[in-house]
Amino acid sequence: MRSVQSVDLTLARSELERLWSPASLENLARTYWRFLSRVTAGLVRVLYGHDERSVVVLGRPLTLLRFDAPQYVLEADRGNVRWRIRDGLLVARAGRGCGYLAIDVRRGAPSAEPARLREPAGGARLHETEEPARLQIQIEVANFYPAIAARFSMPVYRATQSWIHVLVTYGFLRSLAELDLAPSKVGRFAERPPPRG
């Protein structure tokens, strides 16, 4: 199975430049997992291991999906974070270790419309407009072998797990309009304060 959902955001170029960093890409990845937990009222959680991420119902042993640790790529106009799917209750035996989940971010050509700038924290209003920029964010699940399709049928998979995945993913993409990125739990790319002395 392959599933792709995407959104185009228009934002001020200065805000895009501020956000374009490995740390922001890592925070975007964490924001995806936070959204998944929030939208399920905490029933679905993400557990972080040294070299894996597990999506569980309340806790182990109900592991829906288990991923390898993320791989990051940040280029001048593209960022990507990818988790290879290891296994889990939602993965068919034949598909273990085959698929992946990825978040891909691309800078687009400058928008022809002026950027609609949000009010900064503290309520101060921005009166001037800045050069707008476009950002495309895409969520992809590829080469995924769903256990539901293997046990029952593709129509059952499409009517259940696939439908839920698409609904949650579009909800996540819509939530990015606020650009409220969660701080990473791992902090692999977090900016460290300079050493003292």
Torsions phi, psi of 149, nearest 5? -65, -40
Domain that holds residue 71: 3-114+130-178
Sequence letter at residue 36: L
Whether 52 is in a domain gets the answer yes
163 lies in a domain?
A: yes
Rg (CA), the chain: 18
* Helix ranges restricted to H, the chain: 13-19, 22-39, 147-151, 154-157, 163-175
Any domain includes 124:
no
The region, left, alpha or beta by phi > 0 then psi within -120 to 50, assigned to residue 175 is alpha
Residue 69 in any domain: the answer is yes
Residue 2: count of CB within 10 angstroms of its CB: 9
**pLDDT score, position 115:** 40
**Overall domain count for the chain:** 1
Say what the pLDDT of residue 31 is. Answer: 94
Please report the pLDDT score of residue 59 as a whole number: 75
Q: What is the pLDDT along the chain (197 residues), one digit of tens a residue?
A: 889 999 998 888 888 888 888 999 999 999 999 999 999 998 999 999 889 999 999 877 899 999 999 999 999 899 999 999 999 999 998 888 889 999 999 987 544 444 444 444 444 333 355 678 889 999 999 988 888 888 888 888 888 888 899 999 999 999 998 888 888 888 788 765 555 65
Which helix (H) or strand (E) covers residue 21, if one does? none
**CATH number of the domain bearing residue 28:** 3.30.530
Give the Cα-Cα-Cα angle 186, 39, 57 (nearest 5 degrees): 70
Residue 29 lies inside a defined structural domain of this protein: yes
Residue 158 inside a domain? The answer is yes
Helix (H, G, I), strand (E, B) or coil at 90: coil
Q: What is the pLDDT of residue 116?
A: 45
Q: What is the dihedral of CA 101, 12, 118, 181, to 10 degrees?
A: 30
User: Which pLDDT does position 106 carry in this prediction?
Assistant: 94
Kindly report the pTM of this predicted structure. Answer: 0.81
- How distant is the alpha carbon of residue 129 from its chain centre? 29
Task: Give the pLDDT of residue 183.
Answer: 84
In a domain, residue 183? The reply is no
Identify the pLDDT of residue 197.
54
The SS3 of residue 33 is: helix
pLDDT for 120 equals 43
